[in-house]
Amino acid sequence: MDSAEQQALFERIAKARTGSLEAWGELYREFAAPIFRFCRRALPTREDAEDATMEIFVKLREKIGQYDPQRPFQAWLYKVSANHCWDLLRRRRIRQDLETEGVEEMPLEHPEPSQLERLLSEHTSQEVRSALHKLPARSRMPPVLRY
């Protein structure tokens, strides 16, 4: 981002802080798609990512006064987004733990050999995404942020 773009961004942020709906709209148009992509990689479903994106922008309106203009806006926005996704995943895990109490005592069933062979032969991005979602939230964020 060159200095003119950076200056324009700071002006939009200053206007947004004063409540300018036009400035908020511009910020949303500029950053909603990248934040959605970030949330899509961090959360299990598209619907979760869509909801999280909207919630992040609502949170952004509440927290814009905490933004330090001496630091990059995008870094701050991604930090707010990552924290929001971690909170969602943590709440979901707590709820899931409550719903699955006693599952450790259930007998394990092995998949049929044909299913196992099929899973081993398929190397798709869906499997990678599934593997990511099996990781704890804190372990999932570094590869999501990197890739």
Give the mean pLDDT of 8-22: 91
pLDDT above 70 for 52: yes
Domain spans, the chain:
3-94+121-146
Rounded CA separation 57/129 (Å): 25
Nearest to 9 by CA among 53, 80, 69, 79: 69
**Is the pLDDT reported for residue 128 higher than 80?**
no
Please report, in angstroms and rounded to a whole number, the separation of the first and last CA atoms in the chain. 20
Q: Taking the domain 3-94+121-146, which CATH number applies?
A: 1.10.1740.10
Q: How many CA atoms, within 13 angstroms, populate the side-chain half-sphere of residue 2?
A: 1
The runs of H, that is alpha helices, within 100-136 are 113-121, 125-134
For residues 68 and 77, the answer to whether their CB atoms sit within 8 Å is: no
Average pLDDT over residues 122-139: 71
Task: Check pLDDT > 60 for residue 23.
Answer: yes
Question: According to the model, what pLDDT value does residue 84 have?
Answer: 94
CB 19 within 8 A of CB 13: no
28 exposure class (CB count in 10 Å sphere: 0-12, 13-18, 19+): middle
Q: Does pLDDT of 6 surpass 80?
A: yes
Most confident of 21-30, 127-136, 138-147: 21-30
pTM of the shown model:
0.63
pLDDT surpasses 80 at 64: yes
